[in-house]
Amino acid sequence: MGVALLDLISGPTRTADVTSGASVPGDSEFQFELSVCQWVERHWPPDGTLADDTATIVARQLGTKHRRWDTVVVECDRHALRARAAFGERELDSDLLHVVGNAPAEWAWYRDALPEPGYPWRYVREAVHRAADRGLVERRRRGNRVQLRRKRPYPDWVDRVVAIENKPDLDRSAARALVDQLERDVALGLADEVWVATAATGGTVEPALLEAVPVEAGILVVEPDDATVAWHPGALAVDDPGTRIRDRPAGGDHDASAARFEYADADWKRDKRLAIAERAYGRGWRSYADSMRPDCRHFTLRDTASGVLPYCEGKACHQTAGECRGSCGEFEPEPPAWRTRGWPIDGGPGAGIKRLLARQRRRQRPGLEE
C-alpha cells in the first residue's frame, strides 16, 4: 500500500522531496492532464487572481457529442455556487435542468408550467418524477394530472466556461493535428476561452507553433509546480449564435467538395454550457479512480511536484487509465483481510482512496456538508 497512501488518507498531506524543475511525472497525456487539473484548481487564472466573489470548478473529459475537452474550468459566482449545493452533489442532466429551472412557485400541471421541450412530453413527465424522487421539486397528483412546485429557485451560478486541450508534447505535428479542433471550437464559441496546455521543455515556444494554432486560442506552458502564458487567448462570443462545422474539404487539386456547416443558436449554446457546468459540478476531475482499479494491491497515490498522482508499485510507474485494468498482468486484488479488519483503513486501501478523492471533490463545492 505504501507509506505515501497512508499519509494521504489518515493524516496531513506530506511535502514531497522533489528536484526543482523536474519534468511532469509519466509520459502520457493522462498523467499530464491530471497535473494540469491540479495546477488549475490551485492557481487559476494563470495571469492574475480571481475576484473574491468568484470560485472555480475543474473537471476533465467533458463537452458535447462531437467535441470533448481535456480540461474544463467553470468560473462561478461564489454565493450562487453555494445555493447550487442545495440541489445535491450529483449532476443535473439536461432533462432535470428543464424541470428544475422552470418549475413554478405554485402548484401547476407540468405541461402548463414547463416550456415546450422539443421532444415528447412523456420524457418530461419521467424527468418530473426523477426530480421529485431526488427532492429537487415537489410533486402531487390531482386526478390524472401530475402537478409540480419548486422547492427553491435554481441559481444562475455559471459565469464563464474555459476549455483546455492538453498536449504535453506540442511539436509541429501535434500542433497541426490540433488546428482543426481548435478552429471548430472558435467557430462554435461554446467556451468563453480556449487554451492549449503543453509541458515546459526548457526552451521557447517555436514561432511555427504559434502560427499554426488559431490566434484566439491561448497557449499555457506547464511546469511541475508552475505555469506561464506563452500566448493570451481571445474572448469568444458565447452570447451570439455560433457556427458548427460539420465537414470541411481537405484541399488540394483533386478536392472540390464543399464545406458543410450549420448554425447553433444562442439558446442552444446557453443550455449546453449549463449542462457541461452541471457535469463538471458532479464529476470534477478526481473521478478517474472510477475507471481504474484502486482495489489492486499495487495501486497507490504519490505526492509529486505536480500534485498527487496515481502510481503502480507493481510496474513502478505512473500508470494510465487504459493500463489500470483487471486484465493487467500485475493486477492483484487486495487481500480480503485488508477490507474486513477496519485497520488501518476501513474497507481497504481502494475504498479509502475513493473516499479521499470524494472528500477532496466536495471541498471544492461550497455548501455541501462534509
pLDDT tops 60 at residue 318 = yes
Taking residues 244-265, report their average pLDDT.
75
**pLDDT at position 173, please?**
73
Percent of the chain with pLDDT strictly greater than 70? 85
Phi, psi of 358 (to 5 degrees): -65, -40
How is the chain split into domains, by residue range?
3-24+287-363, 102-150
Q: What is the pLDDT of residue 120?
A: 94
Can you point out the beta strands (E) in 97-144?
A: 108-109, 137-142
Average pLDDT estimate for 300-328: 90
pLDDT number for residue 19: 27
- Is the pLDDT at 9 greater than 60? The verdict is no
Name the pTM for this structure: 0.86
Mean pLDDT value of segment 69-83: 96
Given a cut of 70, whether residue 80 has pLDDT beyond it is yes
What DSSP line would sit under 43-92, residue for residue?
Answer: H-STTS---TTEEEEEEEEEE-SS-EEEEEEEEEEHHHHHHHGGG-SS--
Where does the pLDDT of residue 336 fall: very low under 50, low under 70, confident under 90, or very high at 90 and above?
Answer: confident
Give the mean pLDDT of 343-352.
Answer: 73
- Cα gap 342→27, rounded to integer Å: 36
In a 3-state reduction of DSSP, which class is residue 166?
strand
SS3 content of the chain, % helix, strand, coil (to 5): 35, 25, 45
